Amino acid sequence: MSVAEQSIAGAEARGHGFLASSVGRKIVMAASGIVLFGFVTVHMIGNTQAYMGAKSLNAYAEFLHGMLHGGGIWIFRAVLLTATGLHVWSATTLTLDNLAARPVGYRAQQSVASTWASRTMRWSGVILAVFIVFHLLHLTTGQLHPAFKAPQGHEYFAYDNFVSGFKVPAVAAFYIVAQLCLGLHMWHGVWSFTQTLGLSHPRYEGLRRNFATGLTLLVVGVNISYPVAVITGFIH
């Protein structure tokens, strides 16, 4: 086929929006990813108060709900929901594009540079999406938590729900699996967003990798410690 037979779309496509472009959507994914990673990090730090006892954790819950006369948490939720929506949308459309870009696969494909984490992003992402729904229904709204104690006025039972929730071994196991997925997703994702946003320079290459690894180990390690602590009776 000669080049002559096909047109150059560049000039017309130039007017297309940022969001129509593959790189534009990747930047959306990276930016929303930063918000979400930021959230899980803060979430992890906040929850360390479980180790300080019921009073501390419940007070923290009360504080979150009381911010800006109760508006703060909704602002948070709106931001998170938007970020999640954008993240899922960009991931879905890009994944569909990627699948279409190679309709016939290789018989003998060898992976050399890619990691298990990078290759399983779409699956770890899907598991995380399921987990988030479960997590909200479990510890936020309580529909999936038989022993759930709803807040009464300004009194929150975050600690009780936390302990009673993780006492169910299947639930604890699912949380742990989800956290491992989060680990894989973060480890590739944190490094990946620096790449997508153009924050790459050979001088900081090691730093980027170590930052991704460190942050992932910290978040996942602490998060996994919660169900483990409950199951082993360290937190009770």
Residue 198 lies near other proteins (rule: CB under 8 A) = yes
Measured from the CB atom, is 82 or 98 closer to other proteins? 98
Residue 207 lies near other proteins (rule: CB under 8 A) = no
Please give the distance of CA 129 from its chain centroid, rounded to a whole number: 8
Tell me how far apart the alpha carbons of residues 96 and 9 are, in angstroms, rounded to a whole number. 21
Residue 192 lies near other proteins (rule: CB under 8 A) = yes
Residue 138 lies near other proteins (rule: CB under 8 A) = no
Q: What is the C-alpha radius of gyration for the chain, rounded to an integer number of angstroms? A: 21
Interface residue with other proteins, options 185, 191, 219, 224 (CB under 8 A): 191
Q: How many residues does the chain have?
A: 236
Tell me how far apart the alpha carbons of residues 50 and 159 are, in angstroms, rounded to a whole number. 7
Residue 14 lies near other proteins (rule: CB under 8 A) = yes
Measured from the CB atom, is 63 or 123 closer to other proteins? 123
Q: How many CB atoms lie within 10 A of CB 153?
A: 5
Contacts of other proteins in 111-130 (CB under 8 A): 111-115, 118-119, 121
Residue 102 lies near other proteins (rule: CB under 8 A) = yes
Is the torsion defined by CA of 92, 94, 96, 99 positive or negative?
Answer: negative
Greatest distance between any 2 Cα atoms in the chain:
74
Return the closest-CA partner of residue 160 out of 169, 171, 151, 149. 149
Return the closest-CA partner of residue 87 out of 41, 135, 118, 121. 121
Q: What are phi and psi of 14, to 5 degrees?
A: -55, -35
Measured from the CB atom, is 13 or 177 closer to other proteins? 13
From 12-20, 77-85, 147-155, 167-175, give the range in contact with other proteins by CB under 8 A. Answer: 12-20
From 10-18, 36-44, 59-67, 174-182, give the range in contact with other proteins by CB under 8 A. Answer: 10-18
Residue 153 lies near other proteins (rule: CB under 8 A) = no
Residue 87 lies near other proteins (rule: CB under 8 A) = no
Binding site for other proteins (CB under 8 A): 1-4, 6, 8-11, 13-16, 18, 20-27, 94, 97-98, 100-115, 118-119, 121, 188, 191-192, 194-202
